[in-house]
Amino acid sequence: MTIQLTMESGKVYISDDVVAIIAGSAALDCYGLIGMASRKQLKDGIAELLGRENLARGVEIRKVNDQVQIDLYIIVSYGTKISEVAHNIQVKVKYVLNEIVGIHVDVVNVFVQGVRVIS
């Protein structure tokens, strides 16, 4: 599924993977976030930490009734307030996708898959 934007001079089609990578990169800029977690793989209750090359695996893009919904699966740092980290990620992802891509995001859901201690 792609996202279609209509401009003055034509249409632009943006792949979900591109939107997912931009959303994941925006989320990684937020304080308290260790990284993205795989949305499909949860082994023994331990979430797999994804590197920068696999950001799209921790993000799911849905288009429901002309609304764009984004699910982010994250791992947060121990000692941070999880609700504040999640709120900052929601605000940042909405802002970046609106300003860079021009997509109005209606919902950003954040799923905390784990907490890690930074050494």
User: Hey, what domains does the chain have and what are their CATH numbers?
Assistant: 2-116 (3.30.70.1350)
Residue-level length of the chain: 119
CA distance 15 to 28: 20
CB 59 within 8 A of CB 72: yes
Residue 71 has pLDDT above 60, yes or no: yes
Closest-CA residue to 37 (of 25, 50, 24, 51): 50
CA distance 58 to 23: 10
Residue 42: CA count within 13 A, CB half-sphere: 11
Model pTM? Answer: 0.82
pLDDT tens sequence across 9-62: 999 888 888 899 899 999 988 999 888 887 665 554 555 555 555 667 788 998
Residue 77 has pLDDT above 70, yes or no: yes
